[in-house]
């Protein structure tokens, strides 16, 4: 089982990281957090010094984010992974960067992540509960299209509270302990120290997500929600015991919600 460390800040790499074989670095949920070429080079140097493989995390993007990625991808070496969470960039990287390994990010694997599934799990028919534990990439036609047309060779998956089932046809990674529930371009944390603009506007971030995190609770919500930047996370530290049978051969460890 390969172990990958997923950080958005290089300062989160410490001496305890000796048990890892791969570094995930970049931005998964916000194009404003896409690193500069200089920061990417530093991250790759850290990985190389430790003998780790390297994976670049990329988010869903507008034209602004796409321009940032255009400056980053030439920095990668043969065999480096690009984890893609935007259908347009997936098509672009698959076609124009044949030396890079293409991975389908967890924003595109479309699992059922809502914690409220637990409220009805006990009365849900077994076949339906099995459906809630699966992903869209279990559909053979989609799997074949991703593999044959877009060169996807790995899927990134969360560990939903209701459990996980999957076809082991394509290798997969499992993220732990943080599962993302939902994300949006409208950042509710943005400018929270000095609110001067509408929450419904999409504007330049002040990176309040790097200093503030909010917990959200409700009587009808069976898990605590963590709002970090534009994304809501749930913590699930319980790992499945049958990872090998599920075709999962990589654990992606997140020391904190990756923002």
Can you give the pLDDT at residue 189? 79
Instruction: Kindly state the DSSP code that residue 109 receives in the 8-state scheme.
Output: S
| Burial degree of 70 (CB within 10 A; 0-12, 13-18, 19+) | exposed
Instruction: Kindly state the DSSP code that residue 4 receives in the 8-state scheme.
Output: E
What pTM was estimated for this model as a whole? Answer: 0.93
56 touches 102 (CB < 8 A) = no
pLDDT by position in tens, the chain (length 259): 999 999 999 999 986 677 899 999 999 999 999 999 999 999 999 999 999 999 999 999 999 999 999 999 999 999 999 999 999 999 999 999 999 999 999 999 999 999 998 998 889 999 999 999 999 999 999 999 999 999 999 999 999 999 999 999 999 999 999 999 999 888 887 777 776 766 656 767 778 788 888 898 999 889 999 999 899 999 999 999 999 999 999 999 999 999 9
Q: Which CATH number fits domain 2-178+235-253: 1.20.120, 1.10.3470, 1.10.540, 3.20.20?
A: 3.20.20
Residues 6 or more apart whose Cβ sits within 8 Å of residue 161: 115, 117, 118, 179, 222, 223, 234, 236
**Cα–Cα dist 55/21, whole Å:** 11
Strand arrangement of the beta sheet that strand 231-235 belongs to = 178-183, 231-235, 225-228, 214-216
CA dihedral 78, 84, 90, 95 (to 10 degrees): 0
Tokens standing for residue 51:
């003998």
């Amino acid at each position: 089982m390969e172990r990958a460390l997923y950080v958005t800040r290089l300062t989160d790499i410490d001496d305890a990281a000796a048990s890892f074989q791969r570094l995930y670095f970049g931005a998964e949920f916000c194009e404003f957090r896409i690193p500069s070429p200089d920061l990417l080079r530093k991250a790759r140097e850290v990985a190389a010094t430790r003998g780790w493989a390297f994976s670049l995390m990329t988010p869903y993007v507008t034209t602004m984010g796409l321009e940032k990625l255009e400056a980053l991808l030439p920095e990668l070496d043969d065999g480096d992974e690009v984890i893609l969470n935007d259908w347009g960039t997936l098509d672009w990287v698959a076609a124009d960067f044949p030396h890079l390994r293409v991975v389908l990010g967890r924003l595109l694997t479309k699992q059922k992540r809502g914690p409220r599934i637990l409220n009805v799990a006990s009365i849900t028919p077994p076949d339906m509960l099995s459906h809630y534990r699966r992903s869209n990439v279990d559909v053979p036609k989609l799997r074949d299209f991703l593999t044959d047309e877009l060169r996807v060779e790995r899927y990134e998956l969360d560990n939903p509270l209701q459990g996980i089932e999957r076809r082991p046809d394509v290798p997969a990674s499992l993220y732990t302990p943080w599962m993302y529930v939902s994300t949006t371009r409208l950042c509710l944390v943005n400018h929270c120290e000095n609110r001067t603009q509408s929450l419904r506007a999409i504007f330049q971030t002040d990176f309040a997500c790097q200093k503030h995190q909010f917990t959200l609770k409700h009587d009808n919500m069976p898990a605590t929600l963590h709002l970090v930047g534009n994304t809501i996370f749930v913590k699930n530290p319980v790992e499945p015991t049958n990872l090998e049978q599920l075709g999962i051969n990589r654990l992606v460890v997140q020391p904190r919600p990756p923002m």
